[in-house]
Amino acid sequence: MNRDKLILIGAGGHSRSCVDAIEQEGKYAIAGIVGLNQEVGTKLFGYEVLATDSGMGELAKQFPFALVAAGQISSPEVRIRLYIQAKDAGFKLATVIAPTAFVSIHAKVSAGTIVMQGAIINAGSIIGSNCIINSRALIEHDSLISDHCHISTGVILNGNTTIGAGSFIGSGAIIKEGVTIGSGSLVGMGLSLRHNLSENSKYLGGTLS
């Protein structure tokens, strides 16, 4: 089977999980990785770091697809910058869904997003571009996750929730049905959120900044 060639952008810890999902899905063949200066020439699970982000234009001439594989916790800025660079370089952004994930045929997952092992995305949900839906996250029906979000491991988003662009939801957090979280917000690990958050909020359990 001829598979489309893909460049991973980022060579850190999250990239390791991306390799697993990509290999197991079998839709793309990893051609190499974009990393930091000191990483060029090294290998990650046998895949060579071929260039830094300044070399994306040349790589895009050879390989059609890319996926941003940098992680996201406190800020989405790095992932957003790399996503824009990849598009400007001429890459198509891949969509990767791990084979143990479930994505309803009535849901939408946009380009540049990865859905990790064991995640569930139920009917009517819409996932934006350049998102991470991490392992065992549950996205219930009719939820909207905007671009550049990281929904961490074991998160539960109940039905009709809305997550604004560039937000981070920490591992094991539970979001009540119908709640809206403004863009650029952060919800801490293991918390239950029962009310809306305005843009650029940080909810860390009992405190809101």
pLDDT at position 93 is: 98
Does pTM top 0.75 for this prediction? yes
Q: E strand or H helix at 77, and its extent?
A: helix 77-89
Residue type, 33: I
- The partner residues of 115 in beta bridges, in order of sequence, read 97, 133
Residue type, 139: I
Task: Note whether 82 and 141 are same-domain residues.
Answer: no
pLDDT at position 206 is: 63
Q: What is the mean pLDDT of residues 98-114?
A: 98
Are the CB atoms for 146 and 183 separated by under 8 Å?
yes
Strand duo 108-109 + 144-145: pairing? unpaired
CATH number of the domain that residue 82 is part of: 3.40.50.20
Q: What is the mean pLDDT of residues 200-209?
A: 77
Domain boundary among 94, 125, 142: 94
Task: Note whether 74 and 63 are same-domain residues.
Answer: yes
Are the CB atoms for 41 and 49 separated by under 8 Å?
yes
For 143-162, write each residue's pLDDT tens digit. Answer: 999 999 999 999 999 999 99
Which phi and psi (to 5°) does residue 128 adopt? -75, -170
Query: Exposure of 26 by Cβ count < 10 A (0-12 exposed, 13-18 middle, 19+ buried)?
Result: exposed
CATH number of the domain that residue 157 is part of: 2.160.10.10
pLDDT: which is higher, 115 or 3: 115
Q: Does the structure show a pLDDT above 70 at 1? A: no
Q: What is the mean pLDDT of residues 89-114?
A: 97
- What is the spatial distance between Cα 162 and Cα 124, in angstroms, rounded to a whole number? 12
Task: Note whether 84 and 10 are same-domain residues.
Answer: yes
- What is the spatial distance between Cα 148 and Cα 145, in angstroms, rounded to a whole number? 9
pLDDT at position 205 is: 78
HSE-CB for 201 with a 13 A CA cutoff: 20
Task: Note whether 37 and 76 are same-domain residues.
Answer: yes
Domain boundary among 74, 94, 114: 94
For 70-101, write each residue's pLDDT tens digit. Answer: 988 778 999 999 999 999 999 999 999 999 99
Q: Does the structure show a pLDDT above 70 at 207? A: no
For 168-199, write each residue's pLDDT tens digit. Answer: 999 999 999 999 999 999 999 999 999 999 99
pLDDT at position 208 is: 55
Name the residue range of residue 162's domain.
95-200
For 6-42, write each residue's pLDDT tens digit. Answer: 999 999 889 999 999 999 999 999 999 999 999 999 9
Task: Note whether 105 and 174 are same-domain residues.
Answer: yes
